[in-house]
Amino acid sequence: MIQRLNHTHADVAEKIYGVFQKSYAVEAKLLEAVDFPPLQRTQNDIQTGENDFYGFYMDARLVAVVEIAHQKPAVHIQSLVVLPEYFRMGIASSLISFVSVTYPTPLFTVETGFKNEPAIALYKKFDFVETKQWNTDHGIRKIRFEKRL
């Protein structure tokens, strides 16, 4: 079940933070990243942020989160994370489908690490097209995708 998360509440921000930490730890290993900015976000960063957050619940447990940033004229998927024990269950696909329906826009964007093959395959499955690659100041190669409607 997907529902909007009120990240301004401390208890909700704490749950989001927990999912982020577990999921991004796996991505950091995939990317062989020592300094991985998503792991440096704090609960307070989440709680005071201006983005929209939606959670995927299974058995009353928050198991995945998608964070949406409005960057007119596009909607940017800022974060899409799933707890590792729930990988490969179609949850990320459900969240992308939800975002596509919930945010009518002519352009969706998303970025991930170049070595994050599962995420890249997911975005390509939803017809996202690679538009850019670059190296970050943290030594991570990133890739940007767009989907135009």
Check which CATH number belongs to the domain holding 73 and give it: 3.40.630.30
**Whether residue 49 has pLDDT greater than 90:** yes
Range of the domain at 143: 2-148
Q: Which residues of 50-70 are buried (b: 16+ CB within 10 A; e: fewer)?
A: eebbbbbeeeeebbbbbbbee
The answer to whether residue 95 scores a pLDDT higher than 90 is yes
The model's confidence at residue 6, banded by pLDDT at 50, 70 and 90, is very high
Segment 111-146, tens digit of pLDDT: 999 999 999 999 999 999 999 999 999 889 999 999
Q: If pLDDT is split at 50, 70 and 90, which confidence band does 35 have? A: confident
Domain count, the chain: 1
- What is the predicted pLDDT for the residue at 107? 95
Query: Among residues 3, 53, 46, which one has the least CA distance to residue 21?
Result: 46
- Provide the pLDDT for residue 138: 87
Residue 73 has pLDDT above 90, yes or no: no
pLDDT in tens, 7-22: 999 999 999 999 999 9
d(CA 20, CA 116): 16
pLDDT of residue 108: 96
The span from the CA of 44 to the CA of 5, in Å, is: 15
The pTM score is: 0.95
